[in-house]
Structure 1
Amino acid sequence: MKVAGLWFRRGATLASLREALVAAGGPAGLAAIATVSDKAEAEVLKQLARECGVPIKAVSADVLAGIDTPTRSERITQAFGTGSLAEAAALAAAGPDARLLSTRAISQDRTATAAIAEGDGA
């Protein structure tokens, strides 16, 4: 199962999310898009999921905290307890033995990040 993890700021556009996803490897073969629970109902994410033809997997912040990620944002680490929400969401949603296919990619406007993981599912 291939899962894209996304994190985005308030005000991020569909173009920003799409750009980050493409930079991370694109939507081909995705089974789902994952994000932290409080972002899962965002209209812009729903639009991207519809465009990609995949469901959204909401992952609680408690689950994401402590997931070791290869890239780190100090601001995200302090707020959420993980280095990258996009990477952590992708790993969590892809299953217990998941591995990252791509580390986080950031949109040019810096409002969206995406990473892709593959695993056996959760």
Structure 2
Amino acid sequence: MSDVTAGIGLRPGTSEADIEACLTQTLAAANLPADAIKRLATLASRRDEPGLAAVAQAHDLSLVAIPDEALAGFEAACATRSTRISGLYGVGSVAEAAALAAAGPGATLIQPRIATARVTCALARSAA
């Protein structure tokens, strides 16, 4: 089975249900089962969001916190671009950059971000 990381971008206070819905939609778009995901990744500043922690716990996934400044190194690998997010974090997609960063060197983006009202989710596969 592949080693897939789900990158999550979210607004503060986003509910577990909203995060779960976006994650489910992203997995469906990639035609992957829920158990393909090995970890969740997000901005370090969002690591302690209760909704995100609840999703990680519900699926028994580790939650990787990527320092905001580390995201910019993944700009070239991002498939989508949000002008607002680019202005805030120097990267077009938090979800895509976080997924790639946490999946490790040589990771590939296998599902560009899917955005809902409060959440974005993208999937990256580890090289190893």
* Shared fold, TM over 0.5: yes
Match of 2:31 in 1: none
> What's the secondary structure of 1:47's corresponding residue?
helix
1:94 equivalent among 103, 109, 112 = 103
Going from structure 1 to structure 2, the CA distance change for 1:89 and 1:104 (only over 3 Å counts) comes to: same
Give TM-score, length-normalised by structure 2: 0.88
1:8 aligns with 2:17: no
Q: Return the alpha-carbon distance in structure 2 between the equivalents of residues 99 and 17 of structure 1.
A: 22
Deviation at 1:90, TM superposition (A): 0.2
Match of 2:21 in 1: 19
> What's the secondary structure of 2:98's corresponding residue?
helix
CA RMSD of aligned residues (A): 1.3
Structure 2, unpaired ranges of 5+: 29-33
Larger helix share, 1 or 2: 2
1:36 equivalent among 28, 38, 43 = 43
Residue by residue over 1:41-86, the C-alpha shift from the partner in whole angstroms, topping out at 9 and shown as x without a partner, is 1111110001111110000011101412110000000110000000
1:103 aligns with 2:112: yes
1:46 aligns with 2:25: no
Match of 1:56 in 2: 63
Q: Return the alpha-carbon distance in structure 2 between the equivalents of residues 102 and 56 of structure 1.
A: 19
Equivalent residue letter for 1:53: D
- Count of residues in correspondence between the two structures: 119
Q: Return the alpha-carbon distance in structure 1 between the equivalents of residues 103 and 73 of structure 2.
A: 16
Give TM-score, length-normalised by structure 1: 0.92
Deviation at 1:105, TM superposition (A): 0.9
Deviation at 1:28, TM superposition (A): 2.3
1:112 aligns with 2:114: no
Q: Return the alpha-carbon distance in structure 2 between the equivalents of residues 100 and 20 of structure 1.
A: 17
Structure 1, unpaired ranges of 5+: none
Q: Return the alpha-carbon distance in structure 2 between the equivalents of residues 103 and 66 of structure 1.
A: 17
Identity of aligned residues (%): 33
